[in-house]
Structure 1
Amino acid sequence: MTNYSQQYFGKDLNDITYEDILNFFKEEKEESDKIEFKAFHPDFGDFSKNLVGVIRGICAFLNSNGGILIWGAPLGQKVEEKVVFQGELSLVTELKEKDSLISKVSDSITPLPININVNIIEQEGKYLYVFETQISNYSPHQFKNTYWARLDGQTKPAPHYLVEALFKKISYPNIEGYINLDRFGHLPTGEAYLDISILMINFSELQNEYNLTYRLMCGPAIFAGSRNPQLAKYYTMKGHMYVHKDLNDILHFGAPDINTQRLVFNMEDLADNYNNKMTLILTFGGKQSPLKISDYKLDFSGPIAANNPVGLFESKRENILSAERQKELGTTRENLLEHILKR
């Protein structure tokens, strides 16, 4: 990944401060294909209406070479046939929680993008939003039914030739995996159960995926199917892992694969040994698509709805590339080999 923050500010995104942005705009700045400035101003509407322009810019970066978008920048001024940005910042008046904001941006763009990050900087009750976007392996992306790109230092509708080229460059389908919580209850044996759905979706319009496989692991619970001798071959780790393999020859765009499973567990054991918490880890990939991970943390300490018990979700991290997860964990070739080979 490209560290655009380092290029422009000499530091990582999360280390950028209000003073860094203030100093940045002490001199005239122009936009480029890798940096865009958005002012927040009542003339542009409320938070949601201002956000539309931000999402449009992020979509353009995804379809181009990635870059930095500063929301709360000075108002642009036209000087000698060019637009420059300098001086007083036009800060955003509303705070949007980071994860919620990233979800809002990502959900507005099709196909769902990854590698969008933001640093939210507070200054006397107002806010700067600094976004860093990486070039996407799943472009072209669209927002409000339009493909956007950075052209000549501006966000513009992408011309037909560029959209066609972006479609042709896609090297692997974008497969996304999700878990839904369907029903919670108790069996006559006294055990608790949680019915879940595993969804696999192909978001690449022009590419099918083949030989889809996935694994779902849950330490505190076992899969009810593992108790059935005819189905036991699909479960490992004494029933704590479900393995979905050789069951999907092809996954088409717009035709999700949905698999339902039941988790069975003891609530007292969950409380005593796991602090009422449960983790689900879903790893998946296909013949052409890279391995991804979606993991979920559930909290059973509060009231639980019988139907659609989504209140159990404590946290979700979905569709993270395995390579990105390895980087987060600090995994290197050397320590991975040491762990595997035990030498």
Structure 2
Amino acid sequence: MTSGLSIKYFGKELESITYNDLEAFFDSERIESNTIEFKSYKERKELKEGLKNCNKAVCSFLNAEGGILIWGTPETYKNNEGEDVCKGSLCPVDKFFEKDQLVNQISDSISPLPTGVRIQRVEKDSGYIYVFEVDESIGKPHQYDGVYWVRLDGQKRKAPHYFVESMIKQIKFPRLECYAKITSVRKHGAYKYNLRLGVIAVNQSMLQNEEGTLLQIVLQKARFRSNQSKKVEDEIGLLHYGKPFIRHYDVTIETGRPDFKFLLAVGGKNSPLNISIYEVDPSLYIEGKLSDLSYIIKLTDENKYSFERTEDPGLNQQEIIDDFLNRDKG
């Protein structure tokens, strides 16, 4: 569920927010709520703790109704009414982070793997403000560092047991995820490569098994050696939490350009289709460098539901219908 909270608070999309917008925002007293949190910054020794607090806040928003986190805000103080408010000059973070770097450290720290976390970074005089927009998760509850964090009374708090139970019961379908990696590369001639593709499908929902689970892989500009086709399907059947499905596939590339894309999808009787997309370039392979072949994967876009990919070419529902019926797309 896309939150759109940046529009609510700033009147514009997240990627359009500027440093001046944030300065203007804190010209007035601001109070934290269940959908917005402020994090000030003083000095470099606070950086590690600041990142931890950001992870906790993101986790709490995922488990609630989504939210906005701003890192680099003015310090909070009590106003005349005794309320904790945030107003004044921004306190920028003095370290530059790539957006993907922050998103990856959040993804690595929060379980199950979250989606719907976006970041805007704004800069002034080598200082950075990071604005996180977090969607309410359809795969909650999530935990950070073994703790379920939630929003209660405008603050992030450790979730009481009954709260976690309630969130688990609200889950309407199992969350299935799929991942791929390249486990081996062999070159035969100028443009022919044989690759081994490792795939894992997991059920991230602790209390919901999935039935009728199906894994599908579709290749572009490559073929599976087993059936000389661009597509394979594996019937997994029952998929339990903690018991992943793992399989390897041999792929052959015989084109003028060795790079290719493939789509990996998993779904079941009760769960929507979850799709991961990868772009691989075997020509980047370095002979003898076998321990980790992730460096030949140029693009990784993992685990988005099909309904979240309405803008992706070939995955838009209406485009698929129009193509089948040979209708004019203009």
TM-score (normalised: structure 1): 0.89
**Structure 1 residue matching 2:194: 3-state secondary structure:** strand
Matched, 1:102 2:136: no
Q: Is the 8 A contact 1:64 1:150 kept in 2?
A: yes
Instruction: Output one character per residue of 1:208-241: Cα deviation in whole Å (capped at 9) or x when no partner.
Output: 1111112212222211111xxxxxxxxxxx5111
Alpha-carbon distance in structure 1 between the residues aligned to 2:123 and 2:138: 32
Shift of 1:310: 1.7
Matched, 1:282 2:282: no
C-alpha distance in 2, partners of 1:87/1:213? 54
For 1:1-343, what aligned pairs fall within 5 Å after superposition? Answer: 1-42=2-43, 45-79=45-79, 80-186=81-187, 191-226=192-227, 239-245=229-235, 248-266=236-254, 269=255, 272=256, 274=257, 276-305=258-287, 307=290, 308-327=292-311, 335-343=319-327
Higher helix share: 1
- Cα offset, 1:292, TM superposition: 1.4
8 A contact 1:184–1:305 mirrored in 2: no
CA 1:105/1:302 → structure 2, altered by over 3 Å: closer, same or farther? same
Distance in 1 of aligned mates of 2:76 and 2:107 = 27
The number of aligned residues is: 323
CA distance in 1, matches of 2:21, 2:320: 38
Q: Judge which range, 33-42 or 297-306, deviates more.
A: 297-306
Q: Which amino acid aligns with 2:168?
A: F
Name the aligned partner's letter for residue 48 of structure 1: K
SS at match of 2:298: strand
Are the counterparts in 2 of residues 304 and 311 from structure 1 also a CA contact under 8 Å? no
Cα distance in 2 for partners of 1:63, 1:151 equals: 11
Q: Unaligned 5+ residue runs, structure 1?
A: 227-237
The SS at the match of 2:207 is: coil
CA contact (8 A) 2:194 2:250 kept: yes
Identity %: 35
CA contact (8 A) 1:184 1:304 kept: no
Residue 284 of structure 2: SS of its match in structure 1? coil
Distance 2:96 2:203 in 1: 34
Letter in 2 for 1:240: K
The Cα of 1:336 is off from its aligned counterpart by 4.9
Cα-Cα RMSD: 2.1
Q: Structure 2 length as normaliser, TM-score?
A: 0.92
1:116-144 CA-to-partner distances (Å, cap 9, x unmatched) read 11111121211111001111111111111
Q: Which moved more, 1:136-145 or 1:23-32?
A: 136-145
Following superposition, the deviation at residue 171 of structure 1 comes to 0.7
**In 1: Cα distance, 2:169 partner to 2:60 partner:** 18
Asked if the contact 2:309/2:316 (under 8 Å) is kept, the reply is no
Return 5+ residue gaps in structure 2 as ranges.
none
Give me the whole-angstrom Cα distance separating, in 2, the residues matched to 1:126 and 1:305. Answer: 42
Displacement after TM superposition at 1:329 (Å): 5.6
- Contact residue 203 and residue 239 of structure 2 kept, 8 A: yes
SS at 1:146's partner residue? coil
Q: Is the 8 A contact 2:310 2:317 kept in 1?
A: no
Distance 1:319-1:334 versus aligned 2 partners, 3 A rule: closer
CA contact (8 A) 1:36 1:70 kept: yes
| TM-superposition CA deviations, 1:154-194 (whole Å, max 9, x none) | 11111222111101001111111000111111469x94211
SS of the residue corresponding to residue 23 of structure 1 reads helix
- SS of the equivalent of 2:247 reads strand
